[in-house]
Amino acid sequence: MRILLVPMSAMAETGGPSGRCRLLAKGFKEAKLEVATCRAEDVNYSKIEDIPNYFLDIPMPLGLPKAIASRSFPVAQKLGITSKKTVRSFDEVLWLTGNLNYNYLKKSVESIRKAINDFRPDIVYSEFNISAMIASKKEDIPLFTTVSYPTQHEYAHKAELARGLNRLIAELGLTEVESALKLFDWSDKSFCPSIKKLEPIEKANVYYCGSLKIVSANESSHTRNKILCYMGNGTVSPQKMLSVIKKAFWGSDYQVYIASASLNEFNENNIHVAKRWDFNSLLDEAVLFINHGGQNSIADGLIHKVPQIMVPGKVFERKYNAGSVSDNKAGVVVLDGDFNSEHIRGIAEGIIKSKEMYDNAAAIGLELLGAGGIDVIIREMHR
């Protein structure tokens, strides 16, 4: 069986689709499936060993010309301008990142169709990439997708953002859609990397697979003395994140690890900054995970039994995810206006002392690990 994996691309730092793509590619490979990817070499890209990759175009924010976007967007990120934008639905994310721009859609669908015609997959697997959904439909290849509760059309959508999309769909002779998020309904089978307790999706073709990662059961020997921090893109500016976290925990009993592609490396006293950290290892030694409420980050924290402080900002999906964890008493939501060193330190002290928080995080983590992971997807592929 041949699988073509296509993750969503963006100029912004967003580890979700690309991270899951890597896990899926390796898992499929281990299951003796033939795997190729069609991935844009954007800021989130890194080569996957022994997996061929086909070219995919990089979308420009708001569909701006590349010369303008490549200069202005990094500046907007560093200044925290992107964190001020309220995002109410996933099609707004697609629009902001340029994934709904007509010219980009036309190019990227064509690139994916070329990959399909060369690789000849039995299944196209879309990691939130709408161009892949269109290409698979046009080429009449079975489509699998990753889904989440707050990215559903029924949860929130903005129909007017689908104009360029529907223009291309009409040109390809396909049926127009009410919103870009209705493309997910084209999927033969969809997979939610979560559990129903956190994301209660009521659709017949949606399968819960929980965590795509496997965690060692033997963690008793680890000394938990670390605080980890990752804010992704658009919640809190990298500079503000560093300033607040550094002031909150400088000289504390905890080693603090901050990850951001926009910050320079830094190691002083107990504060450590890098573009990336191996959070899979560090989370085994963490007492607290401070993050932006992204689906991957939340799941990673929970499967390692770590309670969380979540700062979702003005992004709808992160607000939902963070609220779901908070409702299950495994973390605390902090509003972006309250993201200051005194407040964060106070919340952190309360969480670190709370046995209930640790017990709840561990219990949900066990459910995520027990949901079947990549084996669920492979089972449905063989069916």
CB under 8 Å, gap of 24 or more: what pairs does 261-270 form? 261/13, 261/43, 262/13, 262/74, 262/77, 262/78, 262/238, 263/238, 263/239, 266/242
Residues of the chain with pLDDT under 50: 79
- The candidate with the shortest Cα–Cα distance to 305, out of 359, 231, 354, 369, is 359
Topology agreement, domain 2-187 and domain 226-369: yes
Query: Residue type at 146?
Result: T
Assigned superfamily of 226-369: Glycogen Phosphorylase B; (3.40.50.2000)
Residue 371 · residue 209 · CB < 8 Å = yes
pLDDT computed for residue 193 by the predictor: 96
Q: In the chain, what are the domain boundaries?
A: 2-187, 226-369
Residue 32 · residue 40 · CB < 8 Å = no
Residue 305 · residue 358 · CB < 8 Å = yes
Contacts of 68 (CB under 8 A, 6+ apart): none
Tell me how far CA of residue 155 lies from CA of 100, 130, 316, in angstroms. 19, 18, 10
Q: What is the pTM of this model?
A: 0.91
pLDDT computed for residue 205 by the predictor: 95
pLDDT computed for residue 221 by the predictor: 57
pLDDT computed for residue 318 by the predictor: 94
pLDDT computed for residue 76 by the predictor: 52
pLDDT computed for residue 232 by the predictor: 84
pLDDT computed for residue 145 by the predictor: 98
Residue-wise pLDDT tens digits, 69-80: 666 655 555 545
CATH pick for 2-187 out of 3.30.470.20, 3.40.50.2300, 3.40.605.10, 3.40.50.2000: 3.40.50.2000
